[in-house]
């Protein structure tokens, strides 16, 4: 017998996660299907910023910037273990394409629109502070401005949003691919391939949160009239990042570099040991699943960095690259950097309840997007409780940063202090569950690879649905980047042995 839900969500990236969480908290029964691992596509390939997007002011995207700026503080409050303030430095150069006055006005506007309480305001560095920036090329900038934004772990933000939805009763699953949806007797009837098995799920309403696949997914949906709902045009724009080791002396602030081609490139400190350089904007023609940083993109990012910093980095210094495809609403802009970053929520009713498709969007605005989708469902006649996500702590988000520091200090001696420190800013208050598990079974403190007690892998597999070593190393944690080959192989062997037993 197939089950009937109020809402079927297709896609376990940040937007599907936000919709599922909001909906279940408003009283709907929810089923979410993610074809791969949670956040394996765009939602783990972002620049990891929770930001207003200062450059979008140039495109007059005031609505988007205002919403994004306000979301920074909401997310800092509700997910203090995952969303952290980050100070940005913005050099003003003689050869920059936009006039200095425009940058000054932009920063003022940024302060004004933000409604900030937790974050500071923008300003200008003193000459002495400017001269003290490590490796910054002397004379490269006439002035250096500073402004606050935030950063996060995009994959974990998505995961914690999904776990939150599950803790409220949603049926959430990864490795569940929706192969077709047909309207039968007024219900969306979806065929789902789930971990090798076939399942039929019926629902009164449907949200298509398939990101870069959103338009393609509509081709697998058949309305009561036998037709596929019409899709809007999506422009797929690839963005790549490269990671290099952070040189000494360390710089913990980020940089917004204005490249001579008019684009903005970020230099972001990461995990206390690396710098992320990103990103690019290249129209992507192929399958959104196969994206890679090209040599040309890598060289472009390194050249921009070297233009501002006296640090001779080359391709051999790159320790990792990643790329993602922005699923942007095609607004006719010829320049991929200028295509709108705002989202569109499209409603159809193909002989059943509402079918909502999400086009575009940002990591930063996911919670607000969830609210807008709920408004759309309500307009289409779905009965819903009031909005609630603005003040509710996210899964793992019950403790503030000071309390998290105490939790790290006071954990069991069986676990190394550095591991406890990493845990609290990965699992938040759920770190207590890992402590309890290891105290009940001390053998689980034994490390599978350096810095990885077995209890953590077990937690990922049993609570966070990690199925493969890649799920764990790249998305539940970012430990792939600090482990050597032997460590990564040990984690892979652990998951292989567990999957054989299952």
Ligand X SMILES: Cc1cc2nc3c(=O)[nH]c(=O)nc-3n(C[C@H](O)[C@H](O)[C@H](O)COP(=O)(O)OP(=O)(O)OC[C@H]3O[C@@H](n4cnc5c(N)ncnc54)[C@H](O)[C@@H]3O)c2cc1C
Q: Cβ closer to ligand X: 321 or 387? A: 321
Cβ contact 32:370 at 8 Å: no
341 contact partners, CB below 8 Å, separation of at least 6: 53, 56, 61, 64, 326, 328, 360, 362
Under the criterion CB under 6 A, does residue 178 sit at the interface with ligand X? yes
Q: Cβ closer to ligand X: 194 or 349? A: 194
- Report in angstroms how near the CB of residue 339 gets to ligand X at its nearest: 12
Q: Cβ closer to ligand X: 359 or 494? A: 359
CA separation (Å) from 463 to 121, 154, 263, 352? Answer: 40, 19, 41, 35
DSSP letters spanning 381-418: T-------TTTSPPTT-SS-HHHHHHHHHTS-TTS-HH
Cβ contact 460:476 at 8 Å: yes
- Report in angstroms how near the CB of residue 118 gets to ligand X at its nearest: 18
Tokens encoding 265: 């490139």
- Report in angstroms how near the CB of residue 122 gets to ligand X at its nearest: 19
Touching ligand X, residues 291-330 (CB under 6 A): 324-326
- Report in angstroms how near the CB of residue 181 gets to ligand X at its nearest: 9
Tokens encoding 6: 């109020």
Under the criterion CB under 6 A, does residue 12 sit at the interface with ligand X? yes
Interface map 31-60 toward ligand X (x if CB under 6 A): --xxxx--xxxxx-xxxxx-x---------
Q: Cβ closer to ligand X: 19 or 483? A: 19
Under the criterion CB under 6 A, does residue 277 sit at the interface with ligand X? no
Interface map 351-370 toward ligand X (x if CB under 6 A): -------x--xxxx------
What is the distance between the alpha carbons of residues 361 and 471, in angstroms, rounded to a whole number? 24
Interface map 381-410 toward ligand X (x if CB under 6 A): ------------------------------
Give how far the C-alpha of residue 353 lies from the chain's centroid of Cα atoms, to the nearest Å. 30
Cβ contact 38:358 at 8 Å: no
What is the distance between the alpha carbons of residues 88 and 251, in angstroms, rounded to a whole number? 11
Q: How many residues sit close enough to ligand X to count as binding (CB under 6 A)?
A: 40
Q: Cβ closer to ligand X: 17 or 415? A: 17
43 contact partners, CB below 8 Å, separation of at least 6: 13, 14, 15, 17, 154, 155, 158, 211, 363
Tokens 């609210």 identify what position?
371
- Report in angstroms how near the CB of residue 148 gets to ligand X at its nearest: 15
Cβ contact 10:33 at 8 Å: yes
Q: Is the dihedral of CA 368, 370, 376, 381 positive or negative?
A: negative
Determine which residue in the list 6, 7, 9, 13 makes contact with ligand X, applying CB under 6 A. Answer: 13
- Report in angstroms how near the CB of residue 388 gets to ligand X at its nearest: 21
Q: Cβ closer to ligand X: 41 or 469? A: 41
* 348: three-class secondary structure by DSSP: strand
Touching ligand X, residues 205-224 (CB under 6 A): 209-213, 217
- Report in angstroms how near the CB of residue 436 gets to ligand X at its nearest: 32
Q: Report the residue closest to ligand X, judged by CB.
A: 13
Determine which residue in the list 7, 8, 9, 14 makes contact with ligand X, applying CB under 6 A. Answer: 14
- Report in angstroms how near the CB of residue 461 gets to ligand X at its nearest: 20
What is the distance between the alpha carbons of residues 165 and 181, in angstroms, rounded to a whole number? 23
What is the binding site for ligand X (CB under 6 A)? 10-16, 33-36, 39-43, 45-49, 51, 177-178, 209-213, 217, 239, 279, 324-326, 358, 361-364
């Amino acid at each position: 017998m197939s089950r009937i839900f109020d809402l079927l969500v297709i896609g376990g990236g940040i937007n599907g996660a936000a919709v599922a969480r909001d909906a279940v908290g408003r009283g709907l029964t929810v089923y979410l299907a993610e074809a791969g691992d949670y956040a394996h596509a765009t939602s783990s390939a972002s620049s990891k910023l929770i930001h207003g997007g200062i450059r979008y002011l140039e495109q007059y995207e005031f609505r988007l910037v205002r919403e994004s700026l306000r979301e920074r503080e909401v997310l800092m409050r509700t997910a203090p273990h995952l969303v952290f303030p980050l100070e940005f430095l913005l050099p003003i150069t003689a050869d920059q394409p936009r006039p200095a006055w425009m940058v000054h006005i932009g920063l003022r506007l940024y302060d004004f629109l933000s409604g900030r309480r937790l974050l500071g305001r923008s300003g200008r560095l003193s000459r002495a502070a400017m001269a003290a920036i490590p490796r910054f090329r002397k004379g490269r900038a006439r002035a250096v401005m500073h402004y606050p934004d935030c950063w996060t772990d995009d994959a974990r933000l998505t995961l914690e949003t999904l776990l939150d939805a599950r803790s409220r009763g949603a049926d959430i699953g990864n490795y569940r691919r929706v192969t077709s949806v047909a309207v039968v007797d007024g219900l969306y009837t979806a065929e789902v391939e789930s971990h090798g098995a076939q399942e039929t799920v019926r629902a009164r309403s449907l949200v298509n949160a398939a990101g870069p696949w959103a338009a393609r997914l509509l081709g697998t949906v058949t309305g009561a009239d036998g037709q596929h709902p019409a899709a809007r045009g999506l422009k797929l724009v690839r963005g790549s990042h490269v990671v290099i080791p952070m040189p000494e002396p360390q710089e913990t602030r980020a940089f917004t570099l204005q490249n001579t081609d008019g684009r903005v490139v970020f230099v972001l400190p990461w995990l206390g040991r690396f710098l992320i350089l990103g990103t690019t904007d290249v129209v992507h023609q192929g399958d959104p699943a196969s994206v890679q940083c090209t040599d040309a993109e890598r060289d472009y990012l390194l050249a921009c960095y070297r233009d501002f910093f006296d640090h001779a980095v080359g391709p051999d210094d790159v320790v990792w690259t990643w790329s993602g495809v922005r699923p942007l609403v095609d607004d006719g802009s010829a320049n991929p950097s200028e295509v709108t970053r705002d989202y569109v929520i499209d409603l159809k009713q193909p002989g059943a309840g509402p079918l909502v498709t999400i086009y575009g969007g940002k990591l930063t605005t996911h919670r607000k997007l969830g609210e807008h989708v709920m408004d759309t469902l309500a307009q289409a006649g779905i009965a819903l409780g009031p909005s609630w996500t603005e003040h509710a702590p996210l899964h793992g988000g019950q403790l503030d940063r000071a309390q998290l520091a105490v939790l790290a200090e006071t954990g069991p001696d069986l676990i190394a202090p550095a591991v406890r420190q990493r845990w609290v800013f990965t699992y938040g208050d759920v770190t207590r569950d890992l402590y309890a598990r290891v105290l009940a079974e001390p053998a689980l403190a034994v490390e599978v690879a350096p810095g990885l007690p077995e209890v953590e892998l077990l937690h990922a597999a049993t609570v966070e649905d990690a199925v493969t070593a890649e799920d764990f190393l790249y998305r539940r944690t970012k430990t792939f980047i600090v482990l050597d080959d032997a460590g990564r192989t040990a984690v892979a062997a652990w998951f292989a042995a567990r999957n054989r037993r299952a």
